[in-house]
């Protein structure tokens, strides 16, 4: 009996600890959102923020600012941060590649290229179609990047995947610049979007990009257990009865949908999908049943915080959020490569 208790206690702890941590993360998200809403051209006290959120009063000007301008952006940050982080976590698990990230592996470039092409060459700007087009672009880019890496002798190692991702990104980037030059007028708005920005985004897009994003997010959470098995290697996974090919296709679909919705909403935000899963792994270990949901929570809090910094750092101007995420993420990328060479 004593043995059972000794085994049981850590199991209980293992059950309770994640729940507690998740609760803490939710509180953190709410607080970062509140700060995100409170700061800006007009500083609002936190009490006003909570008051406006709980008891909206259309006659108070501050409440209108909060509901019409700041809350949508905060919601966007939470949703997009969660989506990209989960996409990154799943990619790292499936490809067993610590350097995987929707930006590094070219998916974001594919989605951006598709959206820019649709807007510029075909004049498609319907919020219904943009997410679909972005998804198609991300899918093609993912397949091409993976194809290049697999065909490289030595197979799809983290190094070849990263290099082929960089190549595809550079290639599509050249074509994006080309379209920019051919049509300078139509490009002014896209220029900000292409650096990854949450500023002035149309919440109407969330109506169309949101539902697939949430479905993919939930699918990603549900697939966490299988990703853990997959991250032990294809042979082990197959031995444990996982249909690896089938599972990989599903995960590819999830990652593509998450990336495409995020890019449609906020442009290509680099390195979030790299940073967050690594940070989460420090605490959650290697079990993707924990890594995936905590990546979602941490990613939401992270992007909200980063966006606050991007808005506040150089007032009254605003830095694109994507630049801040790159400035934080790129050194981590360098560190991860550096550590591998030691």
Which residues in this chain contact other proteins in the complex, by CB under 8 A? 99, 148, 151-154, 159-160, 162-164, 166-168, 170-171, 173-175, 177-178, 181-182, 195, 270-271, 314, 317-320, 322-324, 326-327, 329-331, 333-334, 337-338, 340-342
Min dist. Cβ of residue 321 to other proteins (A): 11
Give dist(CA 147, CA 149) in Å, integer.
5
Alpha-carbon distances of 284 from 108, 131, 156, 276, 295, rounded to whole Å: 27, 32, 26, 12, 10
Rounded to 5°, angle at Cα 105 from 266 and 252: 85
155/174 Cα distance (integer angstroms): 27
- Looking at the Cβ atoms of 48 and 157, the one nearer to other proteins is 157
CB of 307 to other proteins, least distance (A): 15
The distance of closest approach from Cβ of residue 318 to other proteins in the complex, given in angstroms and rounded to an integer, is 8
Q: How far is the CB of 100 from other proteins (least distance, A)?
A: 13
CB of 310 to other proteins, least distance (A): 9
Closest contact distance (angstroms) between CB of 319 and other proteins is: 5
Rg (CA), the chain: 21
Determine the Cα–Cα distance for residues 169 and 104; give it in Å rounded to an integer: 8
Closer CB to other proteins, residue 163 or residue 253? 163
CA 199 to chain centre: 17
Tell me the angle at which helices 321-341 and 272-284 cross, rounded to the nearest 10 degrees.
60
Q: Which is nearest to 159 in space by CA: 227, 99, 223?
A: 99
Single out the residue of 95, 89, 140, 94 nearest to residue 114, CA to CA.
140
């Amino acid at each position: 009996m004593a043995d059972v208790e000794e085994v049981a206690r850590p199991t209980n702890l293992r059950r309770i600890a994640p729940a507690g941590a998740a609760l803490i993360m939710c509180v953190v998200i709410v607080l970062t959102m509140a700060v995100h809403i409170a700061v800006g051209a007009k500083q609002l006290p936190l009490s006003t923020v909570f008051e406006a959120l709980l008891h909206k009063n259309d006659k108070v000007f501050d409440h209108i600012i909060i509901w019409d301008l700041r809350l949508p952006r905060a919601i966007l940050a939470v949703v997009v941060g969660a989506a990209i982080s989960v996409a990154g976590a799943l990619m790292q698990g499936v490809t067993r590649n610590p350097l995987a990230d929707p930006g590094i592996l070219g998916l974001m470039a594919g989605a951006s290229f598709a959206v820019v092409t649709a807007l510029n060459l075909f004049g498609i700007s319907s919020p219904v179609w943009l997410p679909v087009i972005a998804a198609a672009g991300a899918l093609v880019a993912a397949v091409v990047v993976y194809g290049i890496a697999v065909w490289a002798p030595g197979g799809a190692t983290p190094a070849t995947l990263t290099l082929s991702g960089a190549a595809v990104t550079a290639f599509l980037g050249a074509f994006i610049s080309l379209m920019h030059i051919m049509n300078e007028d139509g490009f002014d708005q896209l220029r900000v979007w292409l650096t990854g920005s949450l500023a002035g985004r149309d919440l109407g897009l969330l109506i169309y990009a949101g539902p697939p994003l949430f479905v993919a997010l939930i699918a990603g959470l549900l697939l966490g257990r299988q990703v853990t098995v997959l991250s032990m290697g294809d042979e082990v996974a197959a031995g444990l009865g996982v249909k690896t090919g089938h599972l990989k296709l599903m995960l590819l679909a999830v990652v593509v949908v998450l990336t495409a919705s995020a890019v449609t909403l906020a442009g290509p935000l680099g390195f979030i999908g790299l940073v967050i899963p690594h940070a989460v792994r420090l605490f959650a270990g290697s079990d993707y049943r924990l890594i995936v949901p905590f990546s979602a929570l941490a990613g939401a809090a992270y992007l909200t915080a980063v966006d606050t910094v991007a808005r506040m750092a150089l007032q009254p101007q605003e830095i694109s959020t994507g630049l801040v995420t790159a400035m934080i993420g790129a050194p981590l990328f360098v560190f991860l490569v550096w550590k591998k060479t030691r």
